[in-house]
Structure 1
């Protein structure tokens, strides 16, 4: 479960960075993610910041450093997904979109379990 959590959060962080870099290279900040509370340039920079924080938290936790930060990041991501998709004005395109989103949220919650086990694991003694 730990490996899954590392992989989930690293891929998510890289996706956030990639979206932000595409928007920055384009120069036009017209990305519209209805589940996010930001728009325009603020959204672009928020995606970049979250991607950098997420990738750093994941890499450092993998190395055994700042494991609590990784767990807090995983909680933030899961909470943000639930708030953004369920408790916002987000409209699903249909049943398939709804179930795909529920699977994504479930995947994020499973990743929280993995991050919790990373946080609670005993440090390696050298």
Structure 2
């Protein structure tokens, strides 16, 4: 597992966000849109764009060059990126966590972004599929 980023939650447990009725295609939230845009920037090698919404702590600990290295290491472990599925939101305390399933060459993965209420990114993680939300 490779977890990248910083997240310091202020307690609380993770609960699934309610959404569209069963069988209906869920609409994307603003958090979903930003998470997918961030993932697209990473996949396309634009690590400066990918870090644009990082909060000051994450920006300091995970500048564009460090994010680029983390993406290379993740692909070394999981195989090359193939595609991604639809995002899923979860609430954890005051944070919104967006998990995006990844289809990687060797095994399934997950891209996870944690947001503050102001839409800035509090954490970014490259994980194996199904990694629990703390």
TM-score under structure 2 normalisation?
0.27
Structure number having the greater helix percentage: 1
TM-score under structure 1 normalisation?
0.28
Larger C-alpha radius of gyration, 1 or 2?
A: 1
- Higher RCO, Cα 8 Å, sep 6+: 1
Structure number having the greater strand percentage: 2
